[in-house]
């Protein structure tokens, strides 16, 4: 058997596994088609008249703008309980003392003094809770994909319709300062930008201080319509120290001063939005879907009255993507084409002095525009791909048709609207929430193609005979040792447990704008055990010889061996060649054994990833699927790829050494013949 044949056959088997992993990944993990359609003022989202007051006003589009300017303060990893007002403890109970509690005191003060001007929400984040996916959701209103988590190291420009695109198309001046991830997501979109490197999580102050240097001068200049400031200190403090460290209290106090300063600088036509893109675990990490990771804070404030009612005792829970259609309509912009978020209806109520009927009608108008946009997206998406479930889609479109007809009837008969409006609002909200639930469910469907390819790869005959046969228990033990080493070195197959600090080994000052090097360092740290054991797998060919030597030593140490040696004929005393000398006598057996060993190792790795795929597919509707089963499959898939590449490298290295030894033997024999 030729060397090249062994490597090519193993590479072909690896290709089968790679294909199976790809098919399963595309069928199981959140995947969707990114449409390039864009909303515009010239094309209303659906038939029927636009809301009252939206025609004829300067800057009006689908709906008349409520605000001329917006200040969006994005505090990375601002968990909800970081912003939640601290209530006084009951008598007799010990006070709860945590470094992050009560540090954003300005929010509590504003909510108490101006209850109709401000509102605090618990923003429910869709996993994965990585920054790039959150920024996509906060600008497009769409769901992120789990596969995108790997591209958090190197962001790519967003091609879908988004708020930044709509703002620039409308001629609005967008100024940005902070995390340089936005530079890659929206290249050339900002009229002015101050980018700062974001990946050095050990640096708590450079980005935040850089923003503060430009924030207030930019506001005072007036040369902006939308101002975005993305602070990173809280997130970096969580990664470096955790949320319970005193440094977290300092960073939150600094953010509190920023919010106070912004409130003092706001004009009446400006809306302030303070939001967290995700939360963090008790260790300060994020990426999964634990309660602490998906719970972020969202705070809205306007110098003029914005809400008709006072805040509830417990903040309302809203999906994070709801901010996208809300901001679009408040600014008089079209809602991004692919948005599936539901507008926050209460911000369209008109303030504390508005009449209940006009307030409810304004909310219904905003919801109807939102529902028309989502219905148009579902029709376009279902025509481009068959990912959506046809039965549920038909039911939702039927519900939307009824709600839209009821809304149009209300506009024609305003006298009887007061009794019917709550029903129409409930129908529109039911449609929007059902559409979002259908998209989440449909974009996580399972494909069975993976199983067939794995069975094909696993069913390849891998039994050969010869002196180099490695037993199954040895190969299994070797693969299990690789897994045991992965866990014993402090790793776990979940995103929050990734050792991000490994990105700075040898580079304590950071990497500048380079993204591939820290990604490589983190990957090497995470999958080092897979790589080392795969490269060393060909050493298992020595296993039979080790067992043979141990047996020979035991026989030599036995007391009866001397008597047997006297009786044994001289011709039987000749020993067989051992180790590398036996290799020289049977090179064809050696190459066959290499192929057999490689197939056995791939088979065991394939069984592991097949088990993960089966668990993920069977439990794909389980509550913990995105927290446990999907990350486990991703880690196993990446580990398999790393192990298979390492195995091919190890076998190629052994063949290279074998070739060098064979050449040396030939030279030795030629020298002896001379």
What does the pLDDT read at residue 594? 84
Distances (CA, A) of 479 to 337, 605, 614, 647, 665: 48, 7, 20, 12, 34
Distances (CA, A) of 132 to 150, 178, 271, 552: 10, 14, 24, 62
* 30-86+98-442 CATH: 3.40.720.10
**Phi, psi at residue 118, to the nearest 5°?**
-140, 160
Cα-based torsion angle of the residue sequence 345, 346, 347, 353 in order, rounded to the nearest 10 degrees: 140
Sign of the four-CA dihedral 460, 463, 466, 467: positive
CA–CA dist 597, 472 (Å, integer)? 9
CA–CA dist 78, 99 (Å, integer)? 14
Q: Which residues pair with 119 in a beta bridge?
A: 300
Assigned token pair, 508: 């304590």
Sign of the four-CA dihedral 62, 67, 69, 73: negative
Q: Which residues of the chain have pLDDT under 50?
A: 55-56, 58-59, 148-155, 445-455, 457-465, 570-573, 623
CA–CA dist 339, 226 (Å, integer)? 20
Nearest residue to 352 (alpha-carbon basis) of 305, 302, 304: 305
Tell me the pLDDT tens digit for each residue of 185-204.
Answer: 999 999 999 999 887 778 89
Instruction: Let me know if 110 is exposed, middle or buried by CB neighbors in 10 A (0-12, 13-18, 19+).
Output: buried
- 3-state SS of 120-178? EEEEECCCCCCHHHHHHHHHHCCCCCHHHHHHHCCCCCCCCCCHHHHHHHCCCCEEEEE
- Residue identified by tokens 């019917």 is 420
What does the pLDDT read at residue 612? 84
What does the pLDDT read at residue 419? 76
CA–CA dist 328, 35 (Å, integer)? 19
CA–CA dist 70, 270 (Å, integer)? 5
> Do strands 226-231 and 69-75 pair parallel, antiparallel, or not at all (unpaired)?
parallel
Nearest residue to 644 (alpha-carbon basis) of 589, 603, 592: 603
Sign of the four-CA dihedral 653, 658, 663, 667: positive
Start-to-end CA distance of the chain, whole Å, equals 31
What does the pLDDT read at residue 446? 45
Distances (CA, A) of 567 to 98, 570, 572, 573: 85, 9, 10, 10
What does the pLDDT read at residue 571? 47
What does the pLDDT read at residue 443? 66
Assigned token pair, 130: 């990585």
Assigned token pair, 264: 């003092």
Distances (CA, A) of 669 to 263, 578, 660, 672: 89, 19, 14, 5
3-state DSSP assignment of residue 298: strand
Reading phi first (left if > 0) and then psi (alpha if -120 to 50, else beta), residue 536 is in: alpha
Every domain of the chain and the residues it spans: 3-24+447-563+576-673, 30-86+98-442
Distances (CA, A) of 382 to 32, 38, 165, 397, 398: 11, 17, 24, 12, 15
Helices 246-265 + 105-113 axis angle, to 10: 40
Residues 340 and 320: beta-carbon distance below 8 Å:
no
> What's the predicted TM-score (pTM) here?
0.72
CA–CA dist 339, 637 (Å, integer)? 31
CA–CA dist 242, 248 (Å, integer)? 8
Instruction: Let me know if 97 is exposed, middle or buried by CB neighbors in 10 A (0-12, 13-18, 19+).
Output: exposed
Instruction: Let me know if 564 is exposed, middle or buried by CB neighbors in 10 A (0-12, 13-18, 19+).
Output: exposed
Q: Which residues pair with 270 in a beta bridge?
A: 69
Residues 70 and 331: beta-carbon distance below 8 Å:
yes
Nearest residue to 405 (alpha-carbon basis) of 431, 435, 439: 431
């Amino acid at each position: 058997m030729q060397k090249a044949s062994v490597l090519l056959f193993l590479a072909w088997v690896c290709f089968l596994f790679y294909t199976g992993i790809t098919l399963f990944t595309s069928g199981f993990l959140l995947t969707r088609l990114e449409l390039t359609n864009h909303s515009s003022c010239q094309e209303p989202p659906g038939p029927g008249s636009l809301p009252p007051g939206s025609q004829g006003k300067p800057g009006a589009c689908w709906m008349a703008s409520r605000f001329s300017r917006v200040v969006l303060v994005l505090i990375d990893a601002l968990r909800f309980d970081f912003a939640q007002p601290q209530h006084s403890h009951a008598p007799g109970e010990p006070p709860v003392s945590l470094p992050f509690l009560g540090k954003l005191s300005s929010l509590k003060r504003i909510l108490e003094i101006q209850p109709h001007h401000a509102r605090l929400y618990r923003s429910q984040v869709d996993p994965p809770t990585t920054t790039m996916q959150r920024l996509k959701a906060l600008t497009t209103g769409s769901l992120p994909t789990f596969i995108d988590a790997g591209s958090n190291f190197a962001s790519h420009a967003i091609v879908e319709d988004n708020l930044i695109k709509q703002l620039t198309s409308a001629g609005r001046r967008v100024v940005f300062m902070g995390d340089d991830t936005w530079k890659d997501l929206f290249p050339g979109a900002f009229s002015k930008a101050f980018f700062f490197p974001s990946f050095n999580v050990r640096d708590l102050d450079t980005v935040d201080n850089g923003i503060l240097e430009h924030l207030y001068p930019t506001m005072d200049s007036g040369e902006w319509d939308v101002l975005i400031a993305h602070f990173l200190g809280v997130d970096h403090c969580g990664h470096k120290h955790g949320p319970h460290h005193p440094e977290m209290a300092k960073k939150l106090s600094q953010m509190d001063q920023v919010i106070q300063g912004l409130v003092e600088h706001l004009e009446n036509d400006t809306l302030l939005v303070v939001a967290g893109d995700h939360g963090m675990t008790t260790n300060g990490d994020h990426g999964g879907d634990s309660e602490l990771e998906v719970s972020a804070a969202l705070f809205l404030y306007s110098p003029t009255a914005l809400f008709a009612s006072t805040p509830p005792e417990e903040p309302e829970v809203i999906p994070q993507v709801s901010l996208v259609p809300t901001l679009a309509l408040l600014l008089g912009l079209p809602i991004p084409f692919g948005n599936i978020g539901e507008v926050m209806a209460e911000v369209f109520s008109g303030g504390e002095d508005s009449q209940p009927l006009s307030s409810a009608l304004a909310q219904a108008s905003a919801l109807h525009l939102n529902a028309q946009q989502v219905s148009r997206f579902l029709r376009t998406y279902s025509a481009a791909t068959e990912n959506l479930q046809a039965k549920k889609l038909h039911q939702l479109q039927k519900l939307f048709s009824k709600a839209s007809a009821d809304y149009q009837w209300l506009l024609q008969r305003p006298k009887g609207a007061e009794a019917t409006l709550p029903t129409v609002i409930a129908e529109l909200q039911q449609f929007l929430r059902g559409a979002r639930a259908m998209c989440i469910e449909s974009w996580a469907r399972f494909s069975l193609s993976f199983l067939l390819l794995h069975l094909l790869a696993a069913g390849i005959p891998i039994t050969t005979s010869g002196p180099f046969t490695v037993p199954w228990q040895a190969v299994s033990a070797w693969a299990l040792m690789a897994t045991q080493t992965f866990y014993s070195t402090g790793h776990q197959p979940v995103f929050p447990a990734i050792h991000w600090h490994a990105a700075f080994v040898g580079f304590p000052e950071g990497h500048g704008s380079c993204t591939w090097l820290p990604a490589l360092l983190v990957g090497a740290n995470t999958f080092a055990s897979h790589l080392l054991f795969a490269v060393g797998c060909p050493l298992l060919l020595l296993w039979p010889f080790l067992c043979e030597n141990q047996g020979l030593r035991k026989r030599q140490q036995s007391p009866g061996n001397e008597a047997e040696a006297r009786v044994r004929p001289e011709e039987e005393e000749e020993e067989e060649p051992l180790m590398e000398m036996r290799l020289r006598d049977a090179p064809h057996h050696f190459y066959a054994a290499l192929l057999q060993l490689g197939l056995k190792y791939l088979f065991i790795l394939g069984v592991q990833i097949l088990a993960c795929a089966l668990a993920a597919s069977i439990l794909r509707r389980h509550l913990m699927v995105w927290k446990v089963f999907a990350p486990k499959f991703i880690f196993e898939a990446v580990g398999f790829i790393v192990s298979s590449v390492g195995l091919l490298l190890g076998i190629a290295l052994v063949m290279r050494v074998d070739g060098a030894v064979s050449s040396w033997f030939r030279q030795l024999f030629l020298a002896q013949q001379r």
